[in-house]
Amino acid sequence: MFFVLSKIITWFLMPLSLSCLLLITGLTWRHSRLKKPLLRLGIALLLFCSNPLLAKWMMNLWEPPPVTYTSIDQAYDWAIVLAGITEPNRPPYDRVQFNKGADRIVHAIQLYHLGKVKKILISGGSGTLTFEGVKESHALADFARMCGVDSSAIYIEDQSRNTHENASFSATLLPPNETSILFTSAFHMRRAKACFEKTGLYPDAFPTDYYGGQIRATPDALLIPSVYSLQLWSILIKEWMGLTAYRLAGYI
């Protein structure tokens, strides 16, 4: 129930969804006193969240700094890779259909070949309400093998549907006295790391898949509304909602 409700509530609170709801309500509302305020609020929210300067600035504040390969001076027993980086419902199912988060598994594989991680645990079943394809952890394990990772160094956790379950189910597979490093998107690292620490595991962080970056002093990067800026705010709001819900539920 928590899984389904979180998906529904998140959709309603996304900037574009909320703006559309305000505009539609304002256009159809019978009480004239509320029509204009609702329309103005919907337009203002849309303009605010589509501003590229504000969106990228906030994302830069939220994402932790990257970790360089050269700064890692040990060989971790485990690389924990969180799924959520493929499109499992997209046919054909004979290949891995990556999304922007592919850095999670790619960087883990690179560190494996550099001798900085010994084993890779891939955690993730399906985070969608409907599922038809191959579970992400299995598809990513196949990809890792194709990239030269020995099968004996690949472990799978394929039942989790969210970050809380990633941590809880992974904790049953990992010895508590072995070192680990966690691979997930930079915007997601705070919540993911807190979930693992709640289980008694304390992995180091390796943030990947950055959405922020340098802010260029050009009109399109400062003032002109963009759909990508709406996406950045949607990612941030979803993550903030996730953190709040997890705290209320006692997951972190």
Domains of the chain (ranges, CATH numbers) = 2-63+223-249 (no CATH), 70-208 (3.40.50.620)
Cα angle 138, 172, 74; round to 5: 80
Strand partners, 207: 184
pLDDT of amino acid 90 = 82
Strand order in the sheet with 204-208: 154-157, 117-123, 76-82, 180-185, 204-208
Q: Which residue has the higher pLDDT, 104 or 42?
A: 104
pLDDT confidence of 194, banded at 50, 70, 90? very high
Q: How many residues are recorded in the chain?
A: 252
pLDDT of amino acid 133 = 60
20 torsion bin: left (phi>0), alpha (psi -120 to 50), beta (else): alpha
Q: Is 205 helix (H, G, I), strand (E, B) or coil?
A: strand
CA 12 to chain centre: 19
pLDDT of amino acid 249 = 92
The torsion of the CA quartet 102, 104, 109, 112, rounded to 10 degrees, works out to 170
121 torsion bin: left (phi>0), alpha (psi -120 to 50), beta (else): beta
Tell me how crowded residue 1 is: count the other CB atoms within 10 A of its CB. Answer: 5
With tokens 């709801």, the residue in question is: 21
For the ranges 67-81, 161-175, 205-219, 230-244, the lowest mean pLDDT is seen at: 205-219
Q: Would the pLDDT of 166 be above 90?
A: yes
From residue 21, how far is each of 12, 42, 45, 99 by CA, in Å?
A: 9, 8, 11, 28
pLDDT of amino acid 155 = 98
Helix (H) or strand (E) holding 156: strand 154-157
pTM score, whole prediction = 0.87
- Overall average pLDDT of the 191-212 stretch: 97
- Overall average pLDDT of the 167-184 stretch: 96
CA 171 to chain centre: 20
Q: Which residue has the higher pLDDT, 21 or 108?
A: 108
Q: Would the pLDDT of 142 be above 90?
A: yes
Q: Would the pLDDT of 22 be above 90?
A: no
pLDDT of amino acid 167 = 98
Computed on alpha carbons and rounded to an integer, the radius of gyration of the chain in Å comes to 20
